[in-house]
Structure 1
Amino acid sequence: MAAALVGWSLAAVATAAEPIKIGVSGPFTGGSAPMGVSMRDGVKLAVADINAKGGVLGRPLQLVERDDEAKNERGVQVAQELINKENVVATVGFNNTGVALASQRFYQAAKIPVMNNVATGSVITRQFVLPEYKDNYIFRTSANDAIQSAMIVNEAVVRQKHTKVAILADSTNYGQLGKEDLERALAAKGIKPVAVEKYNLKDVDMTAQLLKAKQGGAEVVLTYGIGPELAQIANGMEKLNWKVPMIGSWPLSMGNFIDNAGKNGEGARMPQTFIQDGNTPKRKAFIEAYQKAYKVDRIPSAVSAAQGYDSIFLLAAAIKQAGSTDGVKVREALENLNEKLEGVITTYNRPYTHDDHEAIKPNMVVIGEVKNGRVVLAK
């Protein structure tokens, strides 16, 4: 009997110490890599912080990382593998809107929460809502495109007083859905773009699109794309000897835009949830920890790193509150978080409800500007 009790207690301890497996899905290679790697590394810092304090429910968090290569079909494979083979209790990540929309349905069906911490397509958190779906397992810690497009238009039309606007957007789900958000925001100001142009990933010559914008009399170029192609836009404007302001969605802050555009990227403006500036003790500690851990000065995508970091703390708080890793209970806890959490982006106070899975509100987002090879708060 005593031996049986000892065996049971040892088994209970072993079970209690079993890691909580969390998926991390993002593009760790290719043109989207600066945001994917920065997000993953921010997530790793958060997990290290949490595990150093005993983990969650007495169990360490364990990350299961997968490179989705920014490809929809690869994202689907990764989702199925993380759910069915790795048995993750939640996944953080999804940097690309198209990958999120293609992949997160598997988590929804399995009732496993997803924390979108970079992808910004406005529809992402509304893919599974009433009346068709009673409960939604998709959450977000990035500024959605409805927020960003309104800020971009406000910067261009209200603050800078431009009336002739061109839009250049890539051909992905992200670019085209963002373009539609921009057009709606412009229409609300009574403005129709003088040119709306599309380009493909890996395009290296934007001359045709830029000429149409220039010939249309554009006073400003609004963009929706990612770093490498955005740099081609900036460099293409230089080749045409045509310099107008460039204002776009958050990836204008990516390291591969800033580096590839060089002086041609100076002055580009974009919405940001986080700028690499240690203006609070929490932010200062986070930046210094990132720099030390990954031996860099400038974070390749500071926004992605910060949003990744905060997403883990929100998820961990929900698991702790639920007292369980059960997906239904964790979702319910996320929708009713009773712990106020100080993140590096903001202090989260009941960030989600059953019908609102967007942690980032408009008043949490600022306009950044590329200056001397870094992103700073726009003046």
Structure 2
Amino acid sequence: MFIMPVTNAQTHSTPTYLCKPIPALKKILASNASYTNSIRAIRLMLKILLVAALNHMPAQGETTPSAPKNTLKIGVIGPFTGPSADFGVPMRNGIELAVQEINAVGGYLGRQLDIVYKNDQATPDIGRKAAQELAAEKAVAVIGFCNTGVAAKSLDVFQTEKIPLIIPCATGTPLTAKYPAPESYIFRTSPRDSIQAPFVVDDIIKRNWTRVAIFADTTAYGEAGLADVEKALAAKKLTPVYVARFPLGVKDLSKELKTARAAGANVVYSYTVGPENAMIARGRQALGWKVPQVGGWPLSFPFFIDGGKESADGALMSQTFIAEPSNERRAAFLATYARKFKVKKITVPMAAAQGYDSVYLLIYALFGIQNGNITGPAIKDALESKLRTYYGVVATYEQPFSKEDKDAATRNMLVMGMVQNGSITFAYPEDAKRNLFVQRKQ
């Protein structure tokens, strides 16, 4: 294991103090033992690089193209107030937790990570304005977006300005497909709906729930999700028996539920992020229609669990991270999060964990830039290269991205979650056992 070399400005050679193998660091980074080892590893790496940078600053009058400044500006965009704050806030908290850990040991080569937060309020125009502001403020990279429609409105800002964007929450399939992969500056750590939908469809077929009614809102998220579910069903030679479309804010879906029941549906697949999920659950209960409700990860949100109460129990959804201390690194993350933010339960654990991992993937990429030239294209290239192995909370990452693939999450990282007594747990005991071992990208 070698520390990343920094090229001397005058000789163009690599200083030997940055090339010597560090036995202790090599031993820690080579270990799969625990999350604690991963944290120790990056802290040690950061400390070594910080000391090296400080001890080898250029003499007076000497210049270097990679001379560090005081801070490194990174943007964060998300819905921190409003109807999507229940997953925007834990995303922000996960990011903040990771940044605090990194800054505590010196940041990036002595430069503290300066996080600039922008609240998009789950509104596309506000999100776009936030993206433009971060570009004007010279953020070197941005982590953000929870809502597919909000993200979609802003993608061209990042692509045009060549600012890498890592999306830790929004799952709409089109987001990482808008630009040709080799040219794209849009990366994502959340599981796109085109892997979530087939995963859930496979599960409901296994349970013999094949007469599917789909309830999808008319947002970009609902539109893309509906297409993914219909495609997943078609792959199994199935078509939905009924499809309901509705705008956000609708107050009553009883007519649509009655139509779905009359069509003989034996499962309801819902695709929306707000209180409408709970409205569907309560509507089924009011009709005495005892069919299961399944969907993507929004069925793990408080809007559904708290809004649906007992009618939400038993609902099934895809998850990358369930807040159970199934191994040491996840237990450490949960305990640290609870202590820092003084909460007993994370409102949306997936959002927090994916936000946290996104920061570390970015910092690992930054350490892979050989000459310290922190530009958008350099960060993009580093993200697309093989990183030092990062033992994350959601997964273990070796090469999360490439020039041809901008999605870090793969299907093997998914498990089925189930609402039980107001919380999310594993739908299958075997998933709980499998969760002892953090998955790697396939």
* TM-score > 0.5, shorter chain as reference: yes
Q: Partners of 2:284 and 2:374 in 1: how far apart?
A: 51
Does 2:134 correspond to 1:82? yes
Q: Which amino acid aligns with 1:371?
A: Q
For 1:1-379, list aligned pairs within 5 A: 16-84=68-136, 86-129=137-180, 135-157=183-205, 159-322=206-369, 323-379=372-428
Measured against aligned partners, the alpha-carbon deviations of 1:45-86 in whole angstroms (never above 9, x if no partner) come to 0101111121112211111001111111111111001111x2
Q: Partners of 1:243 and 1:373 in 2: how far apart?
A: 19
Q: CA deviation at 1:291?
A: 1.0
Q: Partners of 1:202 and 1:57 in 2: how far apart?
A: 48
Measured against aligned partners, the alpha-carbon deviations of 1:333-373 in whole angstroms (never above 9, x if no partner) come to 10003310011001101111101011101101111001111
Q: Which runs of 5+ in 2 are unaligned?
A: 1-57, 429-442
Q: Secondary structure at the match of 1:16?
A: coil
- TM-score w.r.t. length of structure 1: 0.94
Q: Secondary structure at the match of 1:139?
A: strand
Mapped contact 1:94–1:100 kept (Cα < 8 A): yes
Q: Partners of 2:179 and 2:107 in 1: how far apart?
A: 31
Mapped contact 2:145–2:168 kept (Cα < 8 A): yes
Q: Partners of 2:85 and 2:179 in 1: how far apart?
A: 28
Q: Partners of 2:355 and 2:126 in 1: how far apart?
A: 21
Q: Partners of 1:327 and 1:362 in 2: how far apart?
A: 29
Q: Please say which structure displays the higher CA radius of gyration.
A: 2
Q: Which amino acid aligns with 1:146?
A: S
Q: Secondary structure at the match of 2:191?
A: coil
Mapped contact 1:38–1:299 kept (Cα < 8 A): yes
Mapped contact 1:227–1:255 kept (Cα < 8 A): no
Identical-pair percentage: 43
Q: Secondary structure at the match of 1:306?
A: helix
Measured against aligned partners, the alpha-carbon deviations of 1:197-254 in whole angstroms (never above 9, x if no partner) come to 0122122311122111111110000011114111111111111111211010101001
Mapped contact 1:317–1:337 kept (Cα < 8 A): no
Q: Secondary structure at the match of 1:351?
A: coil
- TM-score w.r.t. length of structure 2: 0.81
Q: CA deviation at 1:7?
A: 6.8
Q: CA deviation at 1:324?
A: 3.3
Q: CA deviation at 1:17?
A: 4.3
Q: Partners of 1:273 and 1:223 in 2: how far apart?
A: 19
Q: Secondary structure at the match of 1:298?
A: coil
Q: Which amino acid aligns with 1:358?
A: D
Q: Partners of 1:93 and 1:278 in 2: how far apart?
A: 26
Mapped contact 2:364–2:387 kept (Cα < 8 A): no
- Give 4+ residue runs of structure 1 displaced > 4 Å after superposition: 5-9
Mapped contact 1:167–1:222 kept (Cα < 8 A): yes
Q: Figure out how many residues of one structure are paired with residues of the other and give that number.
A: 368
Q: Which amino acid aligns with 1:54?
A: G
Q: Which amino acid aligns with 2:384?
A: E
Q: CA deviation at 1:163?
A: 2.0
Q: Which runs of 5+ in 1 are unaligned?
A: none
